[in-house]
Each structure stands twice: as C-alpha cells, then as structure tokens.
Structure 1
Amino acid sequence: MKKIKVLAVLTLALTTFGLIGCSSNEAEKQDKDTRVVETVKGEVKIPTKPKKIVDISGSSEELLLLGQTVVGTANVDSYDTENVPSYMKDLLGDAKVVGHSMMETADIEAILALEPDLIIMAPRQEEIYDQLKEIAPTVMLEDKSNNWEAKLTDVAKLFGQEDKAKAWLDAYYKKAEELGKEIKSAKGEDATYLTVLSSSGSFMVFSEGGIGTVLKEDMKLPQPTNMPKQDSITLPTVTMEGLSEIDADHIIVIATQSDKADLKASSVWSEIRAVKEGNVTILNASPYFSQAYNPIGRELILESIKDSVIK
C-alpha cells in the first residue's frame, strides 16, 4: 500500500514539473517572439520580427532600410498624394497606399484588410488610435518629420536595430562629404549654392531645411553670406528680385512644370547672375520637394546634385 502511495506522489510530482517546464518553455518562446517598446502612449508589446507592417507615420523608408516588410504605407508624393514617390515604387512593391502621412486620419478598412501584425502611426493621427490598436499592436512615435536622422534612430529602436541605423548613417555622411569634395574640386572651394522652391513667381528658400541641409550640412557646400533668416519650421520667402540680391554662384530650383514655364518667360530671371552664367539646376517638384526629408530619398539627392552641378 505504501509503495502505491509513493508511486502516486512521484507521478504527481513529475507531472507537475512537466507542466511547469512546458509553461516555462512557452513563456520563453513568447518572450522571444515579442518585445516591449516605449511609445507616446506608453509601453506596447510588439512582435520581435513583424511580418506585415502598416506605416502611416511617414516612416516607410526607414523601415525598408532596416529590412522590415511594409504592406501598407502613407509615404506619398507631395504633388501626387494617391501614389508613392517615383523613386520608391520598386522598393515598396505591392505595398498599398492607405493614407497621407501628414493627414490626421487614414483608410481604416484598407488597413484592416491588410491584416498587419504591427501598425506605426504619428501623434497627428491620435483620433484613430483606438481603432488601430484593435487591429494590431500600434506604436505611436514622436513626430520627428523635420529631423530625418532622429526619425530613423527612433524607428530602429523599435526593433533593436540601432547599430544597423548607425552603420547606414555613417556610410551616408561619408558619401555626402566625398561627393561634396568632388563638386568643390570641379567648381571651386568657395562657390556658393542656393536651393529654393519656385512658387507662383516667388521662391521659398531652404535656408535651414529640406534639400538645403543636404548641401550645407551633409555635402559641406557653402551658402551665400546674405541668406534670409529662417526663424521657424516655415521656409522664408523671397521675390525674384530678392533672389537676385542673394547672388549665389549656383542656384538649385525645385519647380512644377507651370513654374518652369514662368521662369523661362521672366525677363528678371534671365538677368540673375547664376542664370546668365548657366549655373542653374532645375529639379522636378515631384518627387524632389519632400525627398530630402526621408533617408532613401536624401541619399539619391546626393548623386542628382553632383551630376547636375558638374556638367
């Protein structure tokens, strides 16, 4: 009788330890499959290796650089908001456009149909947060749309890929400086460069933003000394006469087809020194206007600038 009791106790103990072992293994597997990240909305548990990401925050380029899979995006062309920028079409492949990253809402039904396992959004889309988190784990990132490097770093942190982001940034800055040196070698160390957006006869000057920072900060190319001050996120605006007074050695203009026609017809434009000397680069508004605010687009601009300045 005692033997039977002992066997029963041993059997119960082994079963219990077996259950504990199974439970421990399951918890360990779950820990490997998920990670907790800090977001604007507090801590959120997300997949360690998501398979289908919907991004409406404007971070799709960052995700692709990190090797993540984007099935839904709101990274659209500023001048063609139904489509992704032309330089991103092949990279985004079949990813569906589900909104505009600078808008407050998105296509909830389209997002639901994509069956994502992770959604990334921005604070400006706060009103749809509760709907999105019912679809999949939802990360609300701080809005750093005007600080492209910080945005890449924040996205990398979600997946523990800070080293990968840093390696890409190091390579980017090295390339930017090398191409800047090529331009200086061809055009002179002291030649100045001005980047503007043509808009109905006026010009928005990229003093401290967008493509202007690609030339000034990344490629180390000098700006004219009498640049208009930029006191906020808004680009300063000058007239055609004001543009002439800045007197840059080389002008890079971002323009629509309509604005290109206006420039061609303007007698004032034709008398600006850089124009008379043939030192003008004109880039299409689509996709160049917003390209510099995103990493893949920013890198592509380097070659475009070099090729157009060194003719």
Structure 2
Amino acid sequence: MKQKLSLLVIISIIMVFTAACGSQEKTSGSGKGKDSEEIVVNHQLGETKVMKNPKKVVTMDLGMLDTLDKLGMEDSIAGVPQQNLPDYLEKYKGEKYKNIGSLKEPDFEAINEIKPDLIIISGRQQDLYDKFEEIAPTIFMGIDNKKFMESFEGNVNTLAKIFGKEEQAEKELADIESSIDDIKKKAEGNNAKALITLTAGGKVTAFGPNSRFGLIHDVLGIQSAADKIDADPTHGQNISMEFIAETNPDILYVIDRDAAVGEGNNAKKVIENQLVKKTKAYTNDKIVYLDPGYWYLSGGGLVSVAEMVEEAQKGIE
C-alpha cells in the first residue's frame, strides 16, 4: 500500500513539473526558446504580434532600412525596394537581398517568395497594409510630421526592442539629441529666417512647420521666413520665383527630387535665377542644397536624421 502511495506521489510530481514546463514554453512564443518570444507592437494601423529576433525582414521603408543597418542587423534583412536607394545604402542592391519592387509599387510575388517573418511599411504603402498582412506580420513605422522626434524615437526603440538592441539605440538617440540641443542654442541666438523648398521637373514647392521637412523649424528652432504656407504636409505648396524673391529668406534650403529619383541634378539650374539672386540667401551664400537621399528617400532613420540635423546647421553657421 505504501509503495503504491509513493508511486502515485512521484507520478503526480512529474505531471505538475511537466505542466509547468509546458506553460513556460507557451509564454515564450512558439516554444522554441528565447528567439521565438513574441512582443506586441501597437502602431498607427493596428496591433501586431512580432517574433523577437526575426530572421527574415522585408522593409519597404528606407528610413527603417537605415536604422536596421546602423543597429547591425543587415543579416536579418531579406528584401528591400532596390530602385532609387540612397548612395549610403547601395550595398542593399547586392544579390544577397531580394528586390521587392519600388517604394510605391511593391512586388508582392517577390515578397511572398521570401516568406518573411516581419514586414515593415510606412506612408507610401499604408493603403496596401491588408495585402502585406496576408503575407506576414506587418508593422507601420512612418513618421508623424507633427511629432517628428516622438515618432522617430518610437520607431527606433521599437526596432531595438524587437532585435535586443536597446542599449545601442539609446546611445545613438542620445547623440542625436545632443546635436539638436547644440543647434537649437545657435538658432536661439540667430534671427535668420529660412524657406524650405523642393524642386521637381522644373517646378518648386515650399514647406513650412509641421511638414515632411518641418524638423528644421519644429525641432531645430530655425525660424520660418514665410508667415503662412498653405501646404499639404507631404507635397508642399506650389510657389513661383516671385514668391521666393518677395519672401527674401536669409536661408534657402533646397531639396532636389529629380536627383533623388535618378532624373538628373537640376535644382541649382532651377533655383539660381535672376530673381533668387537678389535674395539675402543668395547674396550671403546661404542657399543650402540638402542631400535628397537623406531628406527625400530615407528620412526617419538613425543615420539620415543625424545627417539631416548636421546639414540644416549649415544655414546658421
């Protein structure tokens, strides 16, 4: 009798231990250890469960490609839109990485072939979110123009959490914040006013605060030369050369969209005409041509934001 009782006790202990182990495995994702742990990412388009340390990542956003590269995660990147990659991300045109279309026209067949663990999209692809979700867990990581730093830092911290790179991300963000603080101090003691422009196909658009390039005003504190720009935050306000002359900015920032999309370097020919040459910006050598790779293609990444901050500083030096 005592032997049967002892045997029952031992069996009961084994069953409890086994059940406990099974429960522990479930909390760590698919039960395959630490690499299978899941986290929940809340984003603008929904709530997505993402496996930690995904092995195959597809990113449609070049700012997030920039950040992943800076965090040392290039081996986890499986597919990128290879058309019009900025020079500093040219290595992702190599055969190691699958071409998944363009920023506005994803190649869903190519993405399906990858069988990714994670897909990252942003504003240019948000209308196609449901199609991406059918393939793999998809997170939206766009930039909120009205909350540039908050959304930028949130995106970086989310990627850092997914890949266990929190310490490195914290240091990178601290360095950027330090640069911003330095420029803000210079801007406070400088009354210069700036106009931000984009040239494309011979036409010019202007951007003000709370726009896609508004960090110059909103984050760095450089004053706007135009009292009011009735601009679409993404596409800007169409302006004439007379508008630039009448605004007469101390600093004229120029982004060349043609150069960004491989249609030539045309900004200088468009901007430096007889009317603009009468402005304070031209007279004082304060027309600042910004790198379109950073500003138009990959803005919102750890590298691009750091470079954008440094480039904007040229206007108040």
Amino acid paired to 1:118: L
Match in the other structure for 1:258? 266
Give identity over the alignment, percent.
18
SS in 2 for 1:252: strand
| 8 Å Cα contact 1:148/1:294 also seen in 2 | no
Match in the other structure for 1:303? 310
SS in 1 for 2:50: strand
Match in the other structure for 1:269? 276
**Does residue 37 of structure 1 match 2:37?**
no
**Residues 268 and 25 from structure 1, CA distance in 2 versus in 1: closer, same or farther, beyond 3 angstroms?**
closer
For residues 168 and 14 of structure 1, the distance between their equivalents in structure 2, rounded to whole angstroms, comes to 50
Equivalent of 1:178, from 159, 179, 182?
Answer: 182
Question: What is the total number of aligned residue pairs between the two structures?
Answer: 292
SS in 2 for 1:190: coil
Give 5+ residue unaligned stretches, structure 1. Answer: none
Residues 285-300 of structure 1 correspond to what in structure 2 (within 5 A)? 285-300=292-307
Q: How large is the Cα RMSD of the aligned pairs?
A: 3.8
TM-score by length of 1: 0.73
| 8 Å Cα contact 1:210/1:290 also seen in 2 | no
Match in the other structure for 2:229? 229
Give 5+ residue unaligned stretches, structure 2. Answer: 259-264
Match in the other structure for 1:140? 139
Residues 96-175 of structure 1 correspond to what in structure 2 (within 5 A)? 96-101=98-103, 103=104, 106-121=106-121, 123-133=126-136, 138-141=137-140, 144=143, 146=145, 148-149=148-149, 150-154=151-155, 156-157=157-158, 159=161, 168-175=172-179
SS in 1 for 2:120: strand
Amino acid paired to 1:230: D
Which shows bigger deviation, 82-91 or 172-181? 82-91
For residues 235 and 125 of structure 1, the distance between their equivalents in structure 2, rounded to whole angstroms, comes to 24
For residues 20 and 276 of structure 1, the distance between their equivalents in structure 2, rounded to whole angstroms, comes to 78
**Does residue 71 of structure 1 match 2:77?**
yes
Deviations 1:13-44 (A, max 9, x none): 35434533442453355475322415567654
Deviations 1:122-164 (A, max 9, x none): 532235235313xxxx033375464543154156347378976
Match in the other structure for 1:279? 286
Match in the other structure for 2:261? none
Query: Rg bigger for which structure?
Result: 1
TM-score by length of 2: 0.72
